[in-house]
Amino acid sequence: MDGCYRNLLEQRGVQEDVSFRQTGRHLAIELILKTVAKQAGIGQEYLKERRRDATWRAVASWMLCKYGGRTQRQVAAILGAKTGVAISCQLNTLKRKLTDNTKLYAQVARIEKTLQKRGLPQNLWVNRQAFTTE
């Protein structure tokens, strides 16, 4: 196991990039952004703009991590945020909003259902109590 880790470490530029994440089938970035934007009734460019209320940007971030297999740092680069920490903060805010806002929760559930139809495992269904930001 240590040898495998060392090999991964040598291939990466930053030590934090090395992980034993699950690898597998991931959805395309554009498909995820298109799905979120359509459900939110906004343009995809809106997801990449910095705004005070970044709820839909946070939803897109979560879906890119969960269904796109991206890290928070990678999502930050995709959506034009400065760091992965900014994405983490957005996800924490989204977690609080989902527990209080049933309309938003229903919209996120519809997004997940749509993305699940694209061929990912069914056990990724949104659950308010099991929401994690990994």
Interval 35-67: pLDDT, tens: 999 999 999 988 988 888 889 999 999 999 999
pTM (2 decimals)? 0.72
Residue 125: pLDDT band with limits 50, 70, 90: very low
Place of tokens 């699940």: 116
The domains found in the chain, sorted by start residue, are 25-130 (1.10.1750.10)
The predicted model gives 13-35 an average pLDDT of 72
Buried b (16+ CB within 10 A) or exposed e, 28-42: ebeebbebbbebbee
Structure tokens at 106: 């229903």
**What residues have CB less than 8 Å from 67, skipping those under 6 apart?**
26, 27, 32, 115, 118, 120, 124
